[in-house]
A and B are shown apart, each in its own frame.
Chain A
């Protein structure tokens, strides 16, 4: 099992540009999560999907952020336009289902907005 795969690993962009982060969850996992990690705020849940349907996006900071899951094997997190305060490590995670299932995280995308 390849685990959760995220791309790119690093992204450097200029303020105002569109950024798209990608995630391939573990095959067979029904739930997918996007988290953001910073030194100041730690790991914050942005949005999560169950069976490709967005369940809770209350953690998405602003309308500049959007996430999609067109099928069970792919999800994107888009920031448009990006701002320097969006700089962080963005993690995607998947789990077999709801309840007590542990999350399996990818290795993240480190985003730097200059």
Chain B
């Protein structure tokens, strides 16, 4: 079955630096991949979608890459701010058409 792996350890960075989060997947080649942000006590919020024929997608300070050879997506936040502190989840549609999520990586940006 399809599996998504994200760094389970929290990522701690200094304000102003670039945060890079990793999402690896196995046993499947999805046509596209989504990234969500989740704050404590809230539901996930959609951020970006990237398709398999798009190497890179940008939205303001966010950048997502999609390497179908490595089966990996990287999520970057440039000029990070304390307000970016949250858990970030990647998700993909599996072969059964269901949207499955990784466990998420918690990001903490210190001032």
Q: Spell out A's residues near B (CB within 8 Å).
A: 4, 33, 42-43, 45, 48, 56, 58-59, 91, 93, 98, 100, 102-108
8 contacts between A and B (CB under 8 A): A42-B101, A42-B102, A42-B103, A91-B44, A100-B32, A100-B51, A104-B46, A108-B43
Min Cβ gap A81→B in Å is: 27
* B89 (CB) vs chain A CBs: closest residue: A43
Instruction: Count chain B residues whose beta carbon lies closer than 8 angstroms to a beta carbon of A.
Output: 20
Our count of residue pairs bridging A and B at CB distance below 8 angstroms stands at 42
Indicate if the CB atoms of A103 and B102 lie closer than 8 Å: no
Residues on the B chain within 8 Å of A33, using CB: 99
CB neighbours (8 Å) of A104 from chain B are 46
For the A-B complex with A48-B98, A106-B43, A108-B41 known, give 5 more contacts whose Cβ atoms are closer than 8 Å: A33-B99, A45-B99, A100-B32, A102-B34, A105-B44
A69 to B89, CA, bound (A): 27
B102 with A105: CB separation less than 8 A: no
Q: Is B96 an interface position by the 8 A CB rule?
A: yes
Q: Which A residues lie within 8 Å of B100 (CB)?
A: 45
On chain A, the residues within 8 Å of B77 by CB distance are none
**Cβ–Cβ < 8 Å partners of B43 in chain A:** 4, 91, 93, 105-108
Known: A56-B96, A100-B32. A107 touches B103 (CB 8 A): no
Tell me if B79 counts as interface (CB < 8 A to partner A): no
With A and B bound together, what is the CA distance between A103 and B45 in angstroms?
Answer: 8
| Contact B34 A56, beta carbon cutoff 8 Å | no
Chain B residues with CB under 8 Å of A43's CB are 44, 89, 101
CA distance A58 to B49 in the complex (A): 26
- Whether, in the assembled complex, B59 has its beta carbon less than 8 Å from a beta carbon of chain A, the answer is no
Give the residue name and chain of the B residue nearest to A4 (CB). B43
